[in-house]
Amino acid sequence: MDAEASRSQITAALARVAAGDRAALRMVYQDTSAKLFGVCLRILKDRSEAEDVLQDVYLTVWHKAGSFDPGRASPITWLIAMARNRSIDRLRAGAVSRRMASIEEAHAVSDPAPDAVERIERIEQHRRLAGCLEELEARQSAAIRAAFLDGVTYEELATRMRVPLGTMKSWIRRGLLKLRACLEA
């Protein structure tokens, strides 16, 4: 199924969910739960925590599908944002005992997996993001990617990449400003 068909199908299903249609929720779940579970798991690094958050996300979809505005966001964006926000909140609440940042992780941060970059580029609608990220300094785009995927704070990023907190904030803020200008251009 192409992205556009999938998008309109999920949007239609969400409208039915808002009307209390359980079968429609199941459809949304079938189409999106593996993606969302991957996102939660990446942030929380704990299966049972990720399962809790995933369940919470779809229960929120059940109750709040009416607040989804297809004019404002694509349904998958809405769902991913919800999954990430819940996971990050759970992470901040300290419910998960996080692994210590290791040297491997520091490497992973400074050198993102090449297939990650490829996958981004493969998809037409994300080509621009990939292009704009490439215009940033490598360490800036690596820090932004790592923050987005792992949901970690400035403090943890600074520790991982072994730079002072102020430096990390500056990298990311400047990177984001530049990214915004590029995405808008």
Partner 1 sequence: MSDDDTINPADRGRIVAAEYVVGVLGAEERREVERRLAQEPALATEVAFWEERLAGLADAVAPVAPPPATWARIETTIGTPRHSSLWQNLAFWRGFGIAAATLAAASIAALFYIGLVPQARPPLLATLGGSAGQPNFVAAVTATGDSLVVVPAALLTTDQRAFELWLIPAGDNRPRSLGLIQPGQPIRLDIPRDLAGRLTRDATLAVSLEPPGGSPTGAPTGPVIAAGKLTNL
Contacts (CB under 8 A) with partner 1, residues 119-148: 119-120, 123, 125-126, 129-130, 144-145, 147-148
Minimum distance from residue 14 beta carbon to partner 1 (Å): 15
What gap in Å lies between CA 63 and CA 57, rounded to an integer? 10
Q: Which of 73, 67, 58 is nearest to 24 (CA)?
A: 58
Contacts (CB under 8 A) with partner 1, residues 52-91: 54-56, 58-60, 62-63, 72-74, 76-78, 80-81, 84, 88-89
Query: Which of 37, 70, 101, 110: binder of partner 1 (CB under 8 A)?
Result: 37
CB closer to partner 1 out of 62 and 106: 62
Residues 53, 38 contacting (CB under 8 angstroms)? no
At how many degrees (to 10) do helices 127-135 and 114-122 cross?
130
Locate the DSSP E strands across 34-164. Answer: none
Binding map of partner 1 across residues 4-23, x = CB under 8 A, - = no contact: ----------------x-x-
What gap in Å lies between CA 151 and CA 154, rounded to an integer? 10
Q: Is 41 in the site for partner 1 (CB under 8 A)?
A: yes
